[in-house]
Amino acid sequence: MKPPCPYLARVYIPYVPVLTGGIEEISSAELDEVKKQLTDLYTEDGGSNGTEVSVALFQMMMTSMNVTSSLSNSAVCEVLMEALTLADFSATCTAAVSGEEYTFTLTYPLEPAEKVAAKTAQTKSFVITSNFTDAMVAAAAKKQRRRLDALSVAGVAPPTTSVNAQVTIVVSVLGSDSNAYATLQNQSSAVQAQADSVNASTISTTLAAAVTNLTGLVVTAPTQLANVETNAPPTSPPAVPMSPPPPSPSPLPPSPSPSPPTPSPPSTEDPLTPDDDDDSQCDGGCIAGITAAIIAVLALVFVGWLSGWLTRTGCPSPLKKFSTIEKPTIESPAPTHQEVFLDRF
């Protein structure tokens, strides 16, 4: 007997250290080195093969301004991204609103490093010019469906930038393994202990030593997000019994007539048909059907006799219908209406 199909039980442990400073101006090769160093910091020495650490770097940009519009917050975010021409950078936008003051947070991948660095520098200088407010009004005009959708912008603050290093640790265990859930929890605890040992100081020291061109780097304390456990077996996984395979069925021999315990006529039933002691009895539905058939026959006989008796006595039969022919009028001897009886039969 084959064991059940294997599945993976996983725990996702995400950390987000925030990096600011010269990291926004380094090359793609240097970014790859930053990701490698962060991966090594969060990888447990001698850890299980079922543990995987991945690092993704994202450019963050925050700016605030006063916006007057009847558009929704998400629509104003779309206006901002169109004004900044971020469509080719897979950017996302969120807005925190207090009255007419909007604080926007833009997020987009940091790679390819050179292209993103140039776009970030251009955006930071563009936002504080009057051309930006004109671009916002023009982008909002494309979304206008009525006059109330008009948008105005004022009080734009210079944007600030940072880099989010999203570190994700994935612990995987084959669900069909013995004690899979306990193994998953033990490995997760070990990974958690390793990740908790990483702080802003160790990240800053490690990256500065590995990337010499990284100047002015400032690292904030990593923030751990909620763990996500998926496809995990229950706390006490049920044991899977390993039983030998059942023997293959053999063809059925011809079934001889069984010898009854008491003398009785030999059975004529098909040996493959299940025995049923009630087959020879008529149930309620059977009796009702027979009764209805008898009543219908008697009713037809009675109606036929009644029709003949009425005909012999000169009375019209209820089984005959009226028809009309024309009786003669004064001008013409042609017949007009008179009643006649036509036998239905």
Max CA pair span of the chain:
132
Bridge partners of residue 56, in order along the sequence: 166
Ramachandran category for residue 125: left, alpha or beta (phi over 0 → left; psi -120 to 50 → alpha): alpha
Cβ contacts of residue 196 below 8 Å, gap of 6+? none
CA distance 305 to 301: 6
For residue 5, the model assigns a pLDDT of 44
In degrees and rounded to multiples of 5, residue 151 shows phi and psi of -130, 140
Q: What is the mean pLDDT of each run of 10 residues along the chain (345 residues)?
A: 53 82 84 94 78 93 94 92 95 95 96 93 95 93 66 94 91 80 85 90 93 86 81 48 49 52 50 46 67 77 67 58 44 41 38
Amino acid at 258: P
CA distance 17 to 19: 7
For residue 134, the model assigns a pLDDT of 94
Bridge partners of residue 63, in order along the sequence: 104
Put simply, whether the predicted model's pTM sits higher than 0.75 gets the answer no
Amino acid at 298: L
* Alpha-helical runs (H) found in the chain: 28-42, 73-83, 113-126, 130-141, 180-196, 200-210, 284-312
Bridge partners of residue 201, in order along the sequence: none
Q: Tokens in use for 252? A: 């059925």
Residue pair 61/120 in contact (Cβ under 8 Å)? The answer is: yes
For residue 19, the model assigns a pLDDT of 86
Amino acid at 116: V
For residue 154, the model assigns a pLDDT of 95
Cβ contacts of residue 133 below 8 Å, gap of 6+? 153, 154, 156
Dihedral (CA of 216, 222, 223, 229) sign: positive
For residue 144, the model assigns a pLDDT of 65
The single residue listed with the structure tokens 């763990």 is 227
For residue 83, the model assigns a pLDDT of 96
Amino acid at 265: P
For residue 319, the model assigns a pLDDT of 55
Bridge partners of residue 57, in order along the sequence: 165
CA distance 90 to 95: 17
CA distance 82 to 77: 9
For residue 228, the model assigns a pLDDT of 80
Provide the 10 A C-beta neighbour count for residue 91.
20
